[in-house]
A and B are shown apart, each in its own frame.
Chain A
């Protein structure tokens, strides 16, 4: 009997604690903010901005939830089911955002942007990524492109004087690196999207803008020659065995760790790469001034232009239940000052006019110029296309990496999904 009393007592105490902790949440205006900047320096920038805003607006409480990329994507899908969207959250725009808007989960902030010239502060192209059917649902903070980040020291060790400008030069350099005992490329193909960059860029180089526009608009097909050829070129790359051991199961974080610790020479990645290299390196320094960047090489005979860019940006969208203060806060973090701060720590390649001065990192400047110079700018396929098709693209490319899918089969898979999903 005494044992039971003890148990009930414990239960009672715990219930009381539980009730109190849940009641302790107060009643000012609460803004929930989900972002994916797990890097210390970047996380601090967001927190700092939130603190500043809260100091100016004491009745507002901003609750930040920081999540790692994959966790965030997973959580977002469940949140879409329950309909309990956060007030401000990370977005890459494109098809996923369109789905969310279509499901009525986002707040229409077109009117807010029209007021006081807020709209004009943004670079038009970047802002357009967060619009759907003429309405705005969020604002960008960063726009960049995918390119090859490389370790200058390791290149020097392998006697490579200049970064490769063509596909065959790339394959040659890979051989040189291997001969010097250096892992040529780090890729986290376990996460699937890092490897998809290769295939997508190859399609961009081989088929140019037309190939994708035709396929995505359903006038053509994803089994058109450009896409199959892209797969074949990818096979060439895989056959050269340039990746780290276990790449098929590695995550993006594994990839960043390798690069950050100087254990691999090249990494095809977006503008957030240096921050992640830093974060995942043992000494938290990353590559520092060993960092180099070059555009994805031209494929001989391809219809694309060497300046064509694959990329995307980051921004925040507003949840349907967000209070007005949330939009106001959004305005705050997209001010020129805030963008300059973000640029200085390499958090964002700015999209607000005038904030470019904050970009001190020379390689990030290269990235920004590259994005500005691009005649044809392609948003990552898995963001542009409807989510279901986007994820099929990633799956199909992983099949090519693993040797379980031929380029034809992979293209076929994507086409079948496009037929189902793109109306």
Chain B
């Protein structure tokens, strides 16, 4: 770029007052943050304080409610169940989706378009729409009140978006590598396992991150399929907790806070993967 252009751009930027941008951004950020802050305040107050002086920061913070929640065995059951379902679903989705995405991205065959459209059916109607039919089928299979039922359904519904995302990433891997591998005598499976997957690791991480968030936050599938308290997942348990203790607002806030923590930690660690997964799937899908 010539020096003249640089100067022009700098002058252009000066004309749009940056301060306005920041004001808008900060106002928007406050809108986003204040509910969360209010809940943190509420969680750290006693029930009485919540009713009488709810809006000032809790000084000193009261850990009573948090202790109550952590002492409830049902909370740990819920945590365990959520983790179990999340890990199994994610593993399942990553494996099954990458197999299919591989085929659609590297191999040409008859009827691949029709099949691909079929595989992306899951994008066309989200789980809310299909939940009653799903309930009937899972009940027929005898898998209600069983975490395996939840895992299978969650996996099935995450496959479509995952295949789309992975296919896009896989297509970007140069075909020369595939040729080279075939000349070296590497089978298809070998190419898949030894070459493609390691190269596609960022995309697999993205799909994994997406699936983990979706599975962790899923309410509908456990709600409909699970009855037994000991098998509740965290969102389901949170909803039941609020129904049960709704009047003790500070206790509910504490529960919310604790159940939000895993999600937030995960978010901070995996933000990049989440973002790349979402944008890749969304933009090129």
Q: Give me the interface of A with B, judged by CB distance under 8 Å.
A: 7, 10-11, 14-15, 17-18, 21, 38, 65, 67-68, 70-71, 75, 78-79, 82, 84, 251, 253-254, 256-257, 261, 279-280, 282-283
Contact = CB atoms under 8 A, between A and B. Distances in A.
Given A65-B229, A82-B227, A282-B51, A18 B84 contact: yes
A interface SS class: helix
Contacts of A283: 48
A280 B243 contact: no
B140 interface: no
A75 B227 contact: yes
B106 interface: no
A71 B51 contact: no
Contacts of B80: 14, 17-18, 21
B131 interface: no
B87 A38 contact: no
A254 B246 CA distance: 9
Contacts of B83: 14
Given A79-B227, A82-B144, A282 B48 contact: yes
Contact of A71 (B52, B87, B91, B243): B243
A10 B87 contact: yes
Contacts of A15: 84
Nearest to A282: B48
B87 A7 contact: yes
B247 A14 contact: no
Contacts of B240: 71
B276 interface: no
Nearest to A68: B244
Report, nearest first, the 4 A-B pairs whose CB atoms are least far apart.
Answer: A68-B244, A253-B247, A71-B243, A282-B48
Interface in B197-251: 227, 229, 240, 243-247
Given A10-B87, A82-B144, A71 B227 contact: no
Contact of A14 (B52, B77, B84): B84
B247 A256 contact: yes
24 contacts: A7-B87, A7-B91, A11-B87, A11-B88, A14-B83, A14-B87, A18-B84, A21-B77, A38-B244, A38-B245, A65-B229, A67-B244, A68-B244, A68-B245, A71-B240, A71-B244, A75-B227, A82-B145, A251-B246, A253-B247, A254-B247, A256-B247, A279-B247, A282-B48
B62 interface: no
Contact of A70 (B51, B84, B243): B243
Contacts of B52: 282
A21 B230 CA distance: 10
B interface SS class: helix
Nearest to A18: B84
A10 B77 CA distance: 17
A70 B77 CA distance: 23
A282 B246 CA distance: 14
Given A82-B144, A282-B51, A283-B48, A257 B87 contact: no
A74 B211 CA distance: 30
B133 to A, nearest CB: 16
Interface string B137-177: 00000001100000000000000000000000000000000
Nearest to B226: A78
A7 B247 CA distance: 40
Contact of B246 (A7, A18, A78, A253): A253
A273 to B, nearest CB: 14
A65 B232 CA distance: 14
Contacts of B91: 7, 11
Contacts of B247: 253-254, 256-257, 279-280
Contacts of A82: 144-145, 227
Nearest to A81: B139
Contacts of A261: 51
Contacts of A279: 247
Given A21-B77, A253-B247, 15 more contacts: A7-B87, A11-B88, A14-B83, A18-B84, A68-B243, A68-B246, A71-B240, A71-B244, A75-B227, A78-B227, A79-B227, A251-B246, A257-B247, A280-B247, A282-B52
B169 to A, nearest CB: 17
Contacts of A7: 87, 91
Contacts of A11: 87-88, 91
Nearest to A69: B243
A15 B229 CA distance: 18
A217 to B, nearest CB: 36
A251 B84 CA distance: 34
A253 to B, nearest CB: 5
Interface string B51-73: 11000000000000000000000
A329 B126 CA distance: 48
Contacts of A254: 247
Nearest to A15: B84
Nearest to B208: A7
B47 A282 contact: yes
A257 B245 CA distance: 12
A84 B77 CA distance: 21
Nearest to B84: A14
A188 to B, nearest CB: 11
Nearest to B145: A82
A18 B87 CA distance: 14
B208 to A, nearest CB: 9
- Most A CB within 10 A of own CB, among B145, B227, B243: B243
Contacts of A257: 247
A36 to B, nearest CB: 10
A71 B245 CA distance: 11
A202 to B, nearest CB: 29
A402 B240 CA distance: 27
A422 B240 CA distance: 33
Contacts of B48: 282-283
A34 B170 CA distance: 53
A283 B49 CA distance: 11
